Structure 1
Amino acid sequence: MNRPRVLVTGASGFIGGAVLPLLRSTGAHVRVLAHHRSVTPGPYVEIVDGDLTDPTTLRGIGRDVDAVLHLASYIGKDEDRCAAVNVEGTRRLVEEAGRAGVAAFVQLSTAAVYGDGPFRELREGDAEPRPVSPTSRSRLRGERFVLGAGGAVLRPYLVYGTGDRWVMPGLLRVVRALRSGLPGRGGALLSLTEVGSLAASLAHMVVGTPPRRATGVFHACPSRPVSLRELVVAAHLHLGFPLVGGEQSFEGARAELVRAGCDGHLLDLFGVDHWFDATRLAELGGRVPDTGLSAGLAAHAAWYRAQLL
């Protein structure tokens, strides 16, 4: 059997932890670049200790590999760390893949590189990215090495599911703070992607025979957005989050968040349209992550309840 050979970074992270079992199930030979957090070995899984910030540990990492799935990133406010991991680390990995003649390179990025919005049914190339955080700025810079080498970049917006430390915890802070109601009747339209369906999309990009040769930027989002109101109701039903009634102005909601000690930027994430069109991924023949919100939250409800409530 001619098994596809895939190098994966970030396999122990939130999304990588969902991707690795899928790659294993396809029979692929997976080479995992492991740093700090351990990955459980298994059949056809090769663990290689390495660090994206240390070029000596990356030499030869792409040898005998058909595809690279680059999921690792640093998320935080440390500008130097962002540059070291998300920019220079990506550059080094792309260079190693190029030297080894790797056929396909797929990077997981984020639609947060576009900035605060509003974005409604935005297609790739329709807006100039204007990232506002150190993480997003550095991830955009890292993307350019991948795109320059003819690779593919997938950009989901908000990703939720088992292991999520950002999206639903952020929403919980919002609904606990907004006692006077949601801004604009909760009508902001959001692209939310369930981690399992995103993992399936990523795995599908690299396990073809030969690996799928995708190039350019792809939005990795469901075809249908959900409104903030729908999200709040679904989180109430499945996760036990507080249910927010009424409405208020955007400015009033931001002030209420700040008074409650929350980061006002949370309102830019949840209270402004961030709806990204995924037609290009579908036209490629890729697997568009399309798990419905209710089914997605129900699948991860036990984990969220244990972690958040």
Structure 2
Amino acid sequence: MGGTGFIGRAVLGAMTRKEDGRNRASRLNVLSRRGPTGGACAGTRHVRGDLSDPRSLRGVCSGVDTVVHTASYVGRDPQQCHDVNHRGTVALLEEARRAGVRRFIYLSTASVYGEGPHRGPAEGEVEPVPASPASSSRLRAEWEVRAAGGTVLRPHLVYGEGDRWFVPAVSRLLRRVPAWPAGGASLSSVIEVGDLARVVAALVDGSGAPGEGGTYHVAHPRPLSMARLLAELGSVLRLPAPRRVSAADHRALVGQSLPGLTDHQYALLTKDHWYDTASIWRQTGIDPGPGFEARFARCSAWYREQSAHALGD
């Protein structure tokens, strides 16, 4: 479910690559509201369904062994958050139960923990305090998934080709307000979308899959310093080096220039939000990869192109 979005496309790509000379595409059903897109993987079977309309999900899990649920609504409409994230997940779980699905993997978010700061807690060491309708509804969806014996994955900030929020939000913020809070070298758990997709593919294959009903942080083991990200954006996107101002002055400036950026979103970019991710890498047995510098270099051309479009070049 959600195979046409930012993360869903990457997961689909990871799951359709040939392994041992076999292509898994013919064994995959892709559930989406719109049907195949230009980036669709050849050989996959596309099924129409809408999480906000449980009736449209009837029969979508027939013959399915594993459901990977990556779809979500991250806007601010509380009713739509409930309909898509919570009620929609319940409906999909019911279809999975009816069809005898063996494994259910739900991609949630570490944003369910709230504004922070969070400095290295493992799973279960921090009580979720969601600060938005989207996070609240996704937390409720998590409860349903775990109750049904499913697995919940909580990435924090995800970057790479297709990213429309994390790096673009920081870039937009720097263009509007070329400043940053003094001493604001916060640390964040991040993961490149391809590495996140590798984790999901490993769980689907059952290689080191975690026990039933588990919840796992998913990010590179080394948190990213925001100072490092700002320096990288200055180099790749030619953004100005931000001047240092007080935290209060910075929040006021951002509020004036980007009134749509909520306190919750602002906190995600300026406070420590990093988590212990050892469990998922140990369980799957896969290499987390080289980290931010190498992965960002791989997608920097894409970010430059998107930045040029955003500026109307």
Q: Could you tell me the TM-score, scaled by structure 2's length? A: 0.89
**CA apart distance, 1:252:** 1.7
Change in CA separation of 1:175 and 1:294 when aligned onto 2, cut-off 3 Å: same
**CA apart distance, 1:174:** 2.3
Quote the residue 1:4 is aligned against.
none
Hey, what's the Cα distance between the residues in 2 that align with 1:36 and 1:272?
Answer: 37
Corresponding letter in the other structure for 1:42? A
Hey, what's the Cα distance between the residues in 2 that align with 1:191 and 1:209?
Answer: 24
Deviates most, 254-263 or 113-122: 254-263
Q: Determine whether 1:20 maps to 2:20.
A: no
**CA apart distance, 1:117:** 0.3
Quote the residue 1:302 is aligned against.
301
Deviates most, 138-147 or 170-179: 170-179
Superposed CA offset, 1:189-210 (max 9, x none): 1111111111111111112379
Quote the residue 1:161 is aligned against.
160
Quote the residue 1:38 is aligned against.
36
8 Å Cα contact 1:234/1:293 also seen in 2: no
Q: Determine whether 1:260 maps to 2:252.
A: no
Change in CA separation of 1:170 and 1:288 when aligned onto 2, cut-off 3 Å: farther
Hey, what's the Cα distance between the residues in 2 that align with 1:51 and 1:264?
Answer: 28
Pairing of 1:179-198 with structure 2 (within 5 A): 179=178, 181-198=179-196
**CA apart distance, 1:215:** 3.0
Q: Determine whether 1:240 maps to 2:232.
A: no
Change in CA separation of 1:103 and 1:90 when aligned onto 2, cut-off 3 Å: same
Hey, what's the Cα distance between the residues in 1 that align with 2:227 and 2:41?
Answer: 42
Gaps of 5+ in 2: 309-313
Deviates most, 224-233 or 234-243: 234-243
Change in CA separation of 1:49 and 1:255 when aligned onto 2, cut-off 3 Å: same
Q: Determine whether 1:249 maps to 2:246.
A: yes
**CA apart distance, 1:50:** 1.4
Q: Could you tell me the TM-score, scaled by structure 1's length? A: 0.90
8 Å Cα contact 1:107/1:152 also seen in 2: yes
8 Å Cα contact 1:62/1:96 also seen in 2: yes
**Equivalences, count:** 298
Hey, what's the Cα distance between the residues in 1 that align with 2:67 and 2:274?
Answer: 28
**CA apart distance, 1:94:** 0.9
RMSD: 2.0
Hey, what's the Cα distance between the residues in 2 that align with 1:211 and 1:117?
Answer: 29
Superposed CA offset, 1:11-44 (max 9, x none): 000011111121111433111112125243522x
**CA apart distance, 1:188:** 0.8
Superposed CA offset, 1:106-132 (max 9, x none): 010100000000000021111111111
8 Å Cα contact 1:104/1:213 also seen in 2: no
8 Å Cα contact 2:30/2:45 also seen in 1: yes
Quote the residue 2:169 is aligned against.
170
Gaps of 5+ in 1: 1-8
- The SS at the match of 1:136 is helix
8 Å Cα contact 1:221/1:290 also seen in 2: no
Hey, what's the Cα distance between the residues in 2 that align with 1:211 and 1:103?
Answer: 13
8 Å Cα contact 2:184/2:270 also seen in 1: yes
**CA apart distance, 1:53:** 2.1
